[in-house]
Amino acid sequence: MSTIVLDPITRLEGHLKVSVTLDANNIVTAAESTGNLYRDFENMLVGRVPKDAAFLTQRICGVCPVSHAIASSKATEQVAGFKPSLQGLLLRDLIQGANFISSNVLHFYQLALMDYVQGPQVHPWTPGYTQDFRFNATDSQTLINNYVAALSIRRQAHEMGAIFGGKLPHVGNVVPGGVTAKPTATDITNFRNYLNTITSFIKTTYAADVNKLAAAYNDYYTVGTGYGNLLSYGVFDTNTSGGLLFPAGTVTNGTVGSFTQTNIKEYVGHSWYSSPSGINPASETTTPNFGKAGAYTWLKAPRYNGAAYEAGSLARTWISGDYRRGVSVMDRHLARYTETNKIATNMLTWLNQVVVGLSGAGSTSLGIATPVSGSGIGLTEAPRGALGHWLTVANSAISKYQIITPTCWNASPMDDTGNVGPIEKALIGTHVVNTAQPVELLRIVHSFDPCTGCSVHVMSPEGVEMSNFVVQPIGA
């Protein structure tokens, strides 16, 4: 028996540690995923004006801020009993679509691809593992060239989103009530030009590269399979055929089913919290307790009907029927490509419906009064999967706020009844060929595109992790 600890795992957002136990044949028999980050946004938001949460919660992360702004806006709108105009929803979908493209292209080229391609022996491609590279020199050079080209595509996706979002990564225009941008004909033309360039990259370069990867590493269709349970809250409101472009739903034992948010409960038996376990986020609280016996992470364990579910592109495309080949490392990459292509194609349809110069009830943003009391839930999807904000308002201020990010679903720890999280489950059973270079583990973790960059890494100034960290109230 031996152990491997990967800490920190690079090429993801935030700091994630993974520890695995191997048997005598180098098969993973147990895995622990640890989020070394504490996110206190839930408590920080209490007492603030509900509308501010759309701006503040975006700061949880620079990679998925648009989805946080939308989830928060939806929660506030639900408390106020308000629905944005079609033009507001179109702009939200266009900004969120731009963010999805940016994130998915970043993931494939900058975060995942270098697990399979040996880069030039210079920084930033060194140091790195040298195990199991299968592409010849010509293909490797093509992929490296496309890695560089993808940096420009990602920048252009950001610039495209900023046309209506105001700026990126953290947008200024997505608010409860809609989107405050007033589109001009020039905005629409500029957006279309970006979209054409980006769509062409997706349909040619990204399509060819992801298929090249799948052909060279087709054994990865059977690696990192995990539970096979998938969950999505649904996203993109302005699908012209009605309903969401990616509908809400679940996949359990291969069967697509409905989704009901009251079936969600969060468990903290193995997380550094002392707040009650097994509570739906609408009434849950968050009390940190670093060092709690038996706990090993800052992530809670969200569960649906008591079971662990995987969130992300594969969940969305499976439920929508766009991709149902299987659940594995390679399926996650292909599903991510499939949805990127679908989003870009639909964005052109949405853009063609944007109207210049509307006022009154058709405006992109309609002012809503600050709600006095009530509760609301904002469910959407971030690039990495299901994202929910649960809000309670009392005396015109936030009295309770809970957030479950997609990486909380995927990188969650063991729950109170002993079910491990989806990434942990996907690691178990893996054969590590060379324990000095456990590239299989990296490929599995990266296929989920985890992001734990949502809070504060508790480090001493010397860079040593603090083991006796105590959360101090401001001013203490």
Q: Which stretches of the chain bind ligand NFE, using CB under 6 A?
A: 13, 61, 63-64, 67, 382-384, 387, 405-407, 451, 453-454
When the beta carbons of 12 and 188 are compared against ligand NFE, the nearer one is 12
When the beta carbons of 28 and 157 are compared against ligand NFE, the nearer one is 157
When the beta carbons of 169 and 376 are compared against ligand NFE, the nearer one is 169
Measured from the CB of residue 132, what is the shortest distance to ligand NFE in angstroms? 28
Query: Which residues touch 361 (CB under 8 Å, ≥6 apart)?
Result: 85
Beta bridge partners of 175: 178
Measured from the CB of residue 396, what is the shortest distance to ligand NFE in angstroms? 27
Measured from the CB of residue 26, what is the shortest distance to ligand NFE in angstroms? 31
Measured from the CB of residue 446, what is the shortest distance to ligand NFE in angstroms? 14
Measured from the CB of residue 332, what is the shortest distance to ligand NFE in angstroms? 13
When the beta carbons of 424 and 440 are compared against ligand NFE, the nearer one is 424
Measured from the CB of residue 387, what is the shortest distance to ligand NFE in angstroms? 4
| Per-position b or e across 322-339, b if 16+ CB within 10 A of its CB | bbbebbbbbbbbbbbbbb
Q: What is d(CA 114, CA 137) in angstroms, rounded to the nearest whole number?
A: 14
When the beta carbons of 380 and 419 are compared against ligand NFE, the nearer one is 380
Angstrom distances, CA of residue 306 to CA of 150, 207, 264, 329, 388: 40, 37, 8, 24, 18
When the beta carbons of 312 and 371 are compared against ligand NFE, the nearer one is 312
When the beta carbons of 111 and 153 are compared against ligand NFE, the nearer one is 111
Residues in the chain: 476
At 303, list the tokens.
């569960």
Tokens 């900004």 map to which residue?
95
- Which among 181, 126, 193, 209 is positioned nearest to 156, based on CA atoms? 193
To 10 degrees, the CA torsion angle through 119, 123, 126, 132?
Answer: -10
Residue 92 CB burial class (10 angstroms; 0-12, 13-18, ≥19): buried
Measured from the CB of residue 139, what is the shortest distance to ligand NFE in angstroms? 30
For Cα atoms 378, 380, 385, give the angle at the middle one, nearest 5 degrees: 135
Measured from the CB of residue 67, what is the shortest distance to ligand NFE in angstroms? 6
| Per-position b or e across 306-316, b if 16+ CB within 10 A of its CB | eebbbbbbbbb
Measured from the CB of residue 232, what is the shortest distance to ligand NFE in angstroms? 13
When the beta carbons of 61 and 175 are compared against ligand NFE, the nearer one is 61
When the beta carbons of 87 and 340 are compared against ligand NFE, the nearer one is 340
Beta bridge partners of 402: 390
Number of H helices, E strands in the chain: 12, 15
